[in-house]
Structure 1
Amino acid sequence: MDAYRGFVMFLMAAEILHYGRISEALPDSSFWRFMDHHQSHVEWFGCTLHDLIQPSFSFLVGVALPYSIASRQAKDEPFGVMFAQTLRRSLILVLLGIFLRSVGREQTNFTFEDTLTQIGLGYPFLFLLGFRSTRTVWVALAAILVGYWLAFVLYPLPGPGFSYEAVGVPADWPYHKTGIAAHFNKNSNLAWAFDTWFLNLFPRAKTFLYNGGGYATLSFIPTLGTMVLGLQAGRWLRAGLPYPDLLKRFLLAGVMGLATGWLLTITGISPSIKRIWTPGWVLFSGGWCFLLISAFYYIIDVRQWRGWAFPLVVIGMNSIAIYCLVHLIDHFIIDTFKTHLGQTVFDQFGPYEPLASGGAALLVFWLILYWMYKKKLFIRV
């Protein structure tokens, strides 16, 4: 699990390599176009490797919960104490997410679509589900997905006079859909409408009209669905099943998730859209999460091929630390290299300058985490 988490956090940190800039400098290279594509989020529909970072992180929160509950029960912690600790963790995650999104701004940026805030908002509900039966957990997942889908579908479509340009969407945007799928169009859906009310309850430099990427606060509800999938995966892991049975469950869940998410997308019932975390996206991305965890489980736990994963384990065991480092000091590290080695130190790499400067920063990140690992310093929330 630490290796999978480390892999996910490495993908996030690797944004600093800026494959897009290399692709622009080498326009004839299909390799760098491919790398750029999978280091970018899709505009609306679909999925890249980069789009799987947040679902995987959320999924792994669910995977860890059965272990956390069992550990605390072994210490005879009362439920009330555990739940109070859960609420504290949730609040810290929400505040940390807001803090990181406010860095470099003139005032606090009250936004709740960040990975940490989304997890924080849903975590208390996940914790409560952690004490319920498997049947109840699956029923809760169905209720989350169907309820969220129904809320979107029942929200009225914009009228003929609606200005998409006013909410940051070109009128000729190629991702506009009709029929049921139109209820999930960018910045004209239920989640967008909620944020135009909710986010304006907080102090802002100017009135909130829309999120440029279409991201929304209410996505924490289906994100809870992703964490619930992880909760079930964690229960299967703790159950001590023979590895063939466990792998079968993971693989079956993965294939079913991918197939169902794909079917909901092509029929237009619930298009797979990460930015508003549609039910189709929960199932599609959840399918990938099950396949990824099965791959890591087979390679590391079944085949015992562990040495290669050590760098990822170092990252995964301090996921909050790397998350904060990337958001706070990435530019500082690169600027420090330039200060002491010369402002053009990375220019000698030509079109690969982003790879060199970003790689240097990644190395510093990893060395910090390795030092923390050796000192047994692990940031926990």
Structure 2
Amino acid sequence: MQQPAVPTPKDIAPSQRLASIDVYRGLVMLLLVFLDAPNGWTGAVKEGYPDAPVVQALARQFEHVDWAGLVLWDMIQPSFMFVVGASAAYSYASRQRRGHSFRRMLGHAIYRSLLLILIGVFLRSEGDDATDWTLEDVVTQIGLGYVFLFLLWNRGWKVQLGVALGILVGYWLLFALWPLPAADFNLAAVSGHAYYDGFWAHWNKNAHPAHYFDTWFLNLFPRPEPWVANGGGYNTLNFIPSLATMIFGLLAGELLRSERPGQRKLAILLVTGMAALLFGLACHAVGVCPVVKKIWTPSFALVAGGLSLLTLGLLYAIVDLGGWRRWAFPAVVVGMNSIAAYALIHLIAHWTLENYLRHFGPGMFTVFGPAWEPLLQNLAVGAFIWLICFWMYRRQVFLRL
């Protein structure tokens, strides 16, 4: 069976979206498709191998860190948002070539933004008795920042970079200058945690301005009970610093669209990626602010943006400059239908597992012992979702917003 071809280097023009962008998105989606649902599997693996440090370390790469720090799983959302920015550079350039006016493109950006926000709310509400009006889901966060991202498209790299850095400095000032809670503040009542004393206490869990904003804003929506706190520490205002992550992606997309030689583009991606990574780590090391994904601190935005630039640079070198594309086909399948794959993870993962167990029994998942049973279940569900995306890919059915 012949597979649809990924564009080869000679087919690529500056106006076309590069294969590496879809591969990057697809690799992120593969992790989600195969490892995110329906089970939390890392705990079983860690319990089954308490004296195996390598297994323990690998399992921790697929769990969000409790607060400060960074593992592979913490790069899922920033990578996805970074690729949204890179794709936007190609998407709106394509619309411009087709004669779309600025007003028409702005209308599309607003429409897409609203739709993404509502999709995120809908997926977060799955299994609840009422609409769960929370806005921390990755799709919702992209929607909240998308119109602002569009308004920066085609404005030049100096403006785009200046806005991104201004966002990060301004967001840092918001937290750094916000008064600390009183000494008798009840963190337990808001699922909070005092991770730090001193200056870093401005970034303690659920004791900062983004949390206080949500205690007002989220209670404007109808809900069975008043909203008190997010148990994980995530906030609506995370979309502001994560917008900087999308702008970094926009900058990368505009670079790759340019007429510069490929090797020059690669060098810029790698150098700027390393600079952002080191600067973000330095901000953490010298005490400017901690690297915390759950509240998207400016230092985290720099570290995640740097790693995303480096990853895209590596994929650009392999896929677009090197022409090594065949290995990436499984990623391209889900990368070209990322919204559909993300929705399927939330909507049919448990239903799929129930049918596996009903028709084939649990024995197929216990062949390696109880420690690996949840992981094997996730992999089986992921295979089914991937096959759905493959069916869509073969028929050129792509869910677009």
Q: Which residue of the partner structure matches residue 213 of structure 1?
A: 232
Give deviations 1:309-345, integer Å, cap 9, x for gaps.
1001111001101101111111111110111112444
Give deviations 1:147-201, integer Å, cap 9, x for gaps.
111111121101111111111135xx5x22321x221111000100100111111
Unaligned runs of 5+ in 2: 1-20
Give deviations 1:341-380, integer Å, cap 9, x for gaps.
1244423431321232222111111111110000000111
Please state if 1:286 is matched with 2:305: yes
CA distance in structure 1 between the aligned counterparts of 2:360 and 2:156, rounded to whole angstroms: 59
Q: Which residue of the partner structure matches residue 376 of structure 1?
A: 396
Please state if 1:264 is matched with 2:283: yes
**Contact preservation (8 Å) 1:19, 1:32:** no
Opposite residue 380 of structure 2, the aligned amino acid is A
- Aligned-residue offset at 1:24: 1.5
Match of 1:158 among 165, 170, 181: 181
1:230-269 aligned within 5 A: 230-269=249-288
**Contact preservation (8 Å) 2:192, 2:233:** no
Match of 2:67 among 44, 58, 62: 44
CA distance in structure 2 between the aligned counterparts of 1:268 and 1:203, rounded to whole angstroms: 40
CA distance in structure 1 between the aligned counterparts of 2:302 and 2:377, rounded to whole angstroms: 37
Please state if 1:85 is matched with 2:108: yes
CA distance in structure 2 between the aligned counterparts of 1:53 and 1:240, rounded to whole angstroms: 30
Q: Which residue of the partner structure matches residue 128 of structure 1?
A: 151
CA distance in structure 2 between the aligned counterparts of 1:134 and 1:356, rounded to whole angstroms: 45
The runs of 4+ residues in structure 1 deviating greater than 3 Å are none
Match of 2:76 among 53, 57, 65: 53
Match of 1:353 among 370, 373, 393: 373
CA distance in structure 2 between the aligned counterparts of 1:244 and 1:79, rounded to whole angstroms: 33
Opposite residue 378 of structure 2, the aligned amino acid is G
Match of 1:167 among 190, 195, 213: 190
Change (3 A) 1:122 1:207: same
Q: Which residue of the partner structure matches residue 99 of structure 2?
A: 76
Opposite residue 383 of structure 2, the aligned amino acid is L
**Contact preservation (8 Å) 1:19, 1:35:** no
CA distance in structure 1 between the aligned counterparts of 2:61 and 2:198, rounded to whole angstroms: 28
**Contact preservation (8 Å) 1:8, 1:57:** yes
Q: Identity of aligned pairs, percent?
A: 45
Please state if 1:299 is matched with 2:285: no
TM-align CA RMSD: 1.3
Task: Give SS of 1:275's match.
Answer: coil
CA distance in structure 2 between the aligned counterparts of 1:224 and 1:373, rounded to whole angstroms: 30
Task: Give SS of 2:368's match.
Answer: helix
Please state if 1:25 is matched with 2:48: yes
CA distance in structure 1 between the aligned counterparts of 2:190 and 2:250, rounded to whole angstroms: 37
TM-score calculated relative to the size of structure 2: 0.91
Q: Which residue of the partner structure matches residue 215 of structure 2?
A: 196
Q: Which residue of the partner structure matches residue 6 of structure 2?
A: none
Aligned length: 377
Please state if 1:321 is matched with 2:344: no
**Contact preservation (8 Å) 2:244, 2:301:** yes
- Aligned-residue offset at 1:35: 2.3
**Contact preservation (8 Å) 1:38, 1:48:** yes
- Aligned-residue offset at 1:15: 2.3
TM-score calculated relative to the size of structure 1: 0.96
CA distance in structure 2 between the aligned counterparts of 1:358 and 1:29, rounded to whole angstroms: 22
Opposite residue 27 of structure 1, the aligned amino acid is P
Opposite residue 241 of structure 1, the aligned amino acid is R
Report the more deviating stretch, 310-319 or 205-214.
205-214
